[in-house]
Structure 1
Amino acid sequence: MALPMQRCWTRLRALTLPWPAAGYHARPRTWGLDTIYKPDPNDPATKEWHKGPAYEAKLYGRHGSASGVRPESLWPSPEQLKAIEKEEKEWYPSLQEMLERLEAKDKEMLQKKRERERLIAANMAKMPKMVEEWRRAKKEARQKERDEKARKERLLALAREKFGVHVDSRSTKFQEMVKELEKEEKKKAKAVKRKQREEERAAMASVLSAVPAAAHPAPDHKT
């Protein structure tokens, strides 16, 4: 039973591995752990991440004073400290500043809400008048449409009386006749308005003439 299983295992390893490999476990590394690797920053072969204060801070954090790094050299300069403080104020505000910003934002949102409510209330107060104006405009538009329809029917009836039963409203003769009739209607309307003004003037003159002279005393001329 063991022999077929061993053959199967050998064939499976031959299929999965491109070369034969021995199954073993490497021993843990025991050399070089008690030494501190500190590359020379002046060496061209030294990597960039092995240079600078960041790597020295890592060495000091891992090995302490045995790393040979002076801890005071890791402290930022006054210019760097000011830049760090500025960045912290901008991106990491204090709790009091965050509360003040939240309070100001809440006040702004409340003010906008009140303004929106006032606007809605004002529009609702204007709503009856706006609805009435809309209804009046719609009524006037319908009346104008009816008047225009009646005018066209009247002009068409006049055209049929003048040119016969079969008349096209798009013909040149019909359009000319419409223009002539419109001119006549405008003249008649002007004549009616003129007559109304003359009648109003005559009525006013008759009223003034009927007022007794006592109502209009003569001026007193002193000698």
Structure 2
Amino acid sequence: MSEPTDRDEIDRHNAKMAKKKAARDKIMAGKTEERGLIIVHTGKGKGKSSAAFGMIFRCIAHGMPCAVVQFIKGGMETGERTLIQEHFADACPFYAMGEGFTWETQDRARDIEMAQAAWTKAKELIADETNRMVLLDEINIALRYDYIDIAEVVAFLTEHKPPMTHVVLTGRNAKEELIEIADLATEMELLKHPFRSGVKAQAGVEF
């Protein structure tokens, strides 16, 4: 029996890929619905806000109006905020309404007041059907500390979100009620982080 040739290997590979493509095309043919999604980024790993801002920049690139409400990090400058405010403010209004993490502010009443104001602005932006995507950055932190009522958030998103509007919610420890109504939920898993080796947060990586 003759040994397989390179041509035999190529033909087998091509036949295998053709079967995969046919199966994939069949699956894709049945995916015809288009609608606004509820998207949750959570978990202890880095990248939740980074991935969310990646989608915001995609929307901007496609000429799709969008908006950002920042719940916790508003007290610090970030590269995403600077870029959007200086170059894409017309396409994507950016509302930095937090004043820092709760251990920094040390004022729960003030934290609640700011979170409530941010949620009021978020509802206004989501209800505006011209916005194709609204990012609620670090809202999960505000929900975790009960600065905002999770039942109210779930009710608003399920009952009042326009059909074609995407809403992205980021932050650790997403409430189960939020994950249940999400169309897409991703948990970022922490494998390694330079902070544990004594490396501080750095521009371009962390903010």
What's the TM-score once normalised by structure 1's chain length?
A: 0.20
Q: Which protein is bigger by CA-based radius of gyration? A: 1
Higher helix share: 1
Higher strand share: 2
What's the TM-score once normalised by structure 2's chain length?
A: 0.21
